[in-house]
Amino acid sequence: MIVKNITSPNGSIAVSFGFKDNGIPYYFISHKGIAVITPSSFGFQFKNQPEMKKEFSLISSEIFTHQENWEMPWGEQRMVHSHYNELQLHLQETSELKRKLNITFRVFDDGLGFRFTFPKENNTAQLIIVDELTEFKIADDHNCCWQPGDWDSYEHLYDQTKFSEIDAIARRDHPNLLSSVIPENAVNTPITMKTAQGLYLSFHEAAIYDYPGMTLRIHPEDLKMSSALVASHLNNWKAKVSLPFDTPWRTIQIAERAGDLIESNLILNLNEPNKLGDTSYFKPMKYIGIWWEMHIGKSTWDIEGSQDMSTFIDGEKKASEHGATTENALRYIDFAAQHGIKGLLVEGWNTGWDQWINTNDREGVFDFMTPYPDYDFDKVMDYAKEKGVEMMMHHETSAAPRTYEKQMDVAYDFMKKHGMNQVKTGYVGAMIPEGEYHHGQWMVKHYQHVLNEAAKKKIAVNAHEPIKDSGKRRTYPNAISREGLRGQEFNAWAHDGGNPPDHLPKIAFTRMLGGPIDFTPGVFNIKFNEYKTSNQVNTTLAHQLALYVVIYSPIQMVCDLPEHYMKDGEIHPAFQFIKDVGVDWEASKVLDGEIGNFVVIARQERDTKNWFVGCITDENSRELTIDFGFLTEQKVYTAIIYKDAEDAHWDDNPEAYTIEKITVDSNTSVAIKVASGGGFAISLLAP
């Protein structure tokens, strides 16, 4: 029996709520009359109480509508429009316990979110949740782009299969991950689907603060997913919450065009407005780093010259020189200053790396204050200041968050004393204490604690090995970027050959729907055979350029070694694109794309009003026609097109590219060929 309906503002999405026999609450969703979610129920299991999933009745309900425009301090666009209809349902059990539960649906034109609220009851201040029983029944055996539901990591490749063929268990075997737990056939979110009618759906969550991350358990025969919260093995429950309590929003994006998934602001709009006020201490920027050299094995994090990435992956010592030396840092600063790159990240500057991941006891290893003796911290800071380069801090916690919590206060003061406004955090390895996981409630709270403490000191955070992005940057704009995917680093050392050419054309329609990605693009020396012959980047150089536009982040690394950006004593001609490309956008438009195949995105820079276009493709070469209709009418732009050479190929000839200069206006369209694993990047300089 349906008791309430609500539609999106334009009427295209309809949500119905009702009760089955025995007071079991359920909901279903349609888009333009076609079923998206078929009747699905929900409920909760508790530690010291009977489960809650039936014998409910509706006490009252309200409908609201909300419309606003809000401004992003930095982002994919400056102004965001939010418009939704909201249905609030107040339920109560008719059985003896008479417990209350509220459910709220917020329905936008591009999807919806719903969440549960446990109101404050007189007799309980706290609930201990054993699991959440939210169901999502889909209407057909859709094509899915998914990765396994891992409690510790999102650093997996995505698979594209029918829903009924999802098999996360078969993906347990991955030699490249230092921590990973895939307990059942479940997927991480976002999981993105395409229906036979050509509709796109993506399932994720918004505003995770004090609750475990949600994986989605796959029930292939029933075409059903159900919430499987990440656990802690130190407890036999998954979440302990104080009342009143709101769960995160369970989100479903619905789009008629693949690109609309990327343009959607649903996840952000389900988060609360900015709570930090002015965060202008953070400025979007490009940065270089003493970083890639440790990943490819040119140098090491520790001073003994024994810990590069091969040490961790193969237990084999390769490089023998410390990367973070004063001299090397000055060299990077010179490069940044000369070529217009604003920031520098130095990893391996502080003591502790010698006993990093190879020891079992990682508590107390790092102090985030003591430089290695060959790194003259003050000298580097002074030189950077003189050259106008902003230094970025690195805090690798080695998944020992209790140590980090003890030290972060002084560590952040130390940063601020030296004028540092940004920290890259890291949580490599299995969590200490054993039994906690990166995506469980305990760590979710830790990651938020870091944001809170950093915000107090005016510090912006770029977290690696993070909790998934759930759009909290709207509320906490110091959450600037994060990893949470198989980054560029895998190309340096992964045993499976690194990220295949279709990796990022999948990421754009899955992981990127959550928010900014510190992917670290920009490899020019694609094969780096001088250091390693068994690994390479599996894209062309033009594809690497395009990533500055395609993969959104307000901080973008220019990740290759300074010497790899030089050609015959001069800066590489294609570096001009990296110099020119924006990092902070007025507007973003997805011109074309298909999940896992290719994507073309245009973004307009806030300050200059210049436009940039990026296109990446999978292993298939293709010809794409770019319609410049997004440009302001009547204006003529100079377009510099950086594209794959005729004979370019990600494996056979990855560095072959050409640069072409033409003039275009809003009536122009241009056909461009992209190579296998290739792409193109265009800068459109405003008149």
The residues assigned a catalytic role are 489
Q: Which does 368 bind (CB under 5 to 8 A by kind): Ca ion, ligand NOJ, none?
A: none
List, as one string, the DSSP characters of 199-237. -EEEEEEE--SSS--EEEEEETTTTEEEEEE---TTSSS
Q: Which does 493 bind (CB under 5 to 8 A by kind): ligand NOJ, Ca ion, none?
A: none
- Told to check if 396 binds ligand NOJ by CB under 6 A, we report yes
Q: Which does 194 bind (CB under 5 to 8 A by kind): Ca ion, ligand NOJ, none?
A: none
SS3 504: helix
- Told to check if 428 binds ligand NOJ by CB under 6 A, we report yes
Q: Which does 515 bind (CB under 5 to 8 A by kind): Ca ion, ligand NOJ, none?
A: none
Give 523's Cβ-side CA count (13 Å radius): 25
- Told to check if 74 binds ligand NOJ by CB under 6 A, we report no
Parallel, antiparallel, or unpaired: how do β-strands 285-290 and 555-557 relate? parallel
Place of tokens 């102090």: 367
Residue among 62 and 304 whose Cβ is closer to ligand NOJ: 304
Cβ 105 to ligand NOJ, closest distance in Å?
A: 37
- Told to check if 93 binds ligand NOJ by CB under 6 A, we report no
Kindly write out the interface string for residues 454-473 of this chain, putting x where it contacts Ca ion by CB under 5 A and - elsewhere: ----------x---------
- Told to check if 502 binds ligand NOJ by CB under 6 A, we report no
Residue among 114 and 531 whose Cβ is closer to ligand NOJ: 531
Parallel, antiparallel, or unpaired: how do β-strands 390-396 and 239-242 relate? unpaired
Residue among 415 and 675 whose Cβ is closer to ligand NOJ: 415
Kindly write out the interface string for residues 313-352 of this chain, putting x where it contacts ligand NOJ by CB under 6 A and - elsewhere: ----------------------------------x-----
Amino acid type, 478: N
Amino acid type, 370: T
- What one-character DSSP code corresponds to residue 27? E
Cβ 295 to ligand NOJ, closest distance in Å?
A: 7
Residue among 282 and 291 whose Cβ is closer to ligand NOJ: 291
Residue among 26, 44, 116, 291 that touches ligand NOJ (CB under 6 A): 291
Q: Is the peptide bond prior to 433 cis by the omega test (within 30 degrees of 0)?
A: yes
- Told to check if 575 binds ligand NOJ by CB under 6 A, we report no
User: Which of 274, 273, 270, 257 lies closest to 83, judged by CA?
Assistant: 270
Angle at 269 between CA 266 and CA 274, to 5 degrees: 150
Size of residue set near ligand NOJ by CB under 6 A: 9
- What one-character DSSP code corresponds to residue 49? S
Residue among 259 and 352 whose Cβ is closer to ligand NOJ: 352
Q: Which does 291 bind (CB under 5 to 8 A by kind): Ca ion, ligand NOJ, none?
A: ligand NOJ
Whole-angstrom distance, CA of residue 24 vs CA of residue 109: 28
Three-state SS sequence of 60-129: EEEEEEEEEEEECCCCCCCEEEEEEEEEEEEEEECCCCCCEEEEEEEEECCEEEEEEEECCCCCCCEEEE
Residue among 131, 308, 483, 502 that touches ligand NOJ (CB under 6 A): 483
Cβ 579 to ligand NOJ, closest distance in Å?
A: 23
In the numeric block, which tokens belong to residue 279? 């965060």
Binding site for Ca ion (CB under 5 A): 464
Binding site for ligand NOJ (CB under 6 A): 291, 347, 396, 426, 428, 464, 483, 487, 489
